[in-house]
Amino acid sequence: MGIITANKASLTREHMRACNITDESNVYVVGLEDCKEWRKIFDEPDNPFDMEAVSAEILGAVEKGFKEHPNTAVIVLECTDLPPYAKQIREKFGVPVFDINSMIGYMAMSVGQIRLYE
């Protein structure tokens, strides 16, 4: 499983352990902290940024993860700014992509707020 996050250093071992993710869990993390256009969203929020460049940087980071971990079977988008890119990632890499929106949907289904089969 690959986890994509805004800043890899902010997702610590303590966070992982709190989720029962250990070194043996076969999970890796890719951070976007070196993506120049992506950083503008946080560092220069009042200035324009190139959405196509941001998309390319995110897809490039995911691709890097796949190159380093070719057996990747699923991607988790940790950052709440990443769900808009889930479809592009899913289509380009052909794996399930989970994020805060999919988690909320699953929770809503589990408590009966969304009914798929009625």
Is 14 within a domain? yes
Is 115 within a domain? no
Residue owning tokens 């929106």: 101
Per-residue DSSP letters for 50-65?
-HHHHHHHHHHHHHHH
Task: Provide the whole-model pTM.
Answer: 0.84
Question: What's the structural domain count of the chain?
Answer: 1
Is 94 within a domain? yes
31 pairs with which residues across the strands?
Answer: 5
* Dist CA 83 CA 89 (whole Å): 10
The CATH number assigned to the domain holding 60 equals 3.40.50
Is 118 within a domain? no
Is 12 within a domain? yes
Q: What is the pLDDT of residue 82?
A: 94
Is 117 within a domain? no
Each residue's pLDDT tens digit in the chain (118 positions)?
999 999 999 888 888 888 888 777 789 999 999 999 999 988 998 999 899 999 999 999 999 999 999 999 999 999 889 999 999 999 999 999 999 888 888 788 888 877 766 6
The answer to whether 64 touches 89, Cβ cutoff 8 Å, is: no
Q: What is the pLDDT of residue 4?
A: 96
The answer to whether 27 touches 21, Cβ cutoff 8 Å, is: yes
Q: What is the pLDDT of residue 46?
A: 92
Q: What is the pLDDT of residue 116?
A: 66
* Dist CA 17 CA 71 (whole Å): 23
Q: What is the pLDDT of residue 105?
A: 83
Q: What is the pLDDT of residue 56?
A: 97
Is 63 within a domain? yes
Domain span at 100: 2-110
Is 70 within a domain? yes
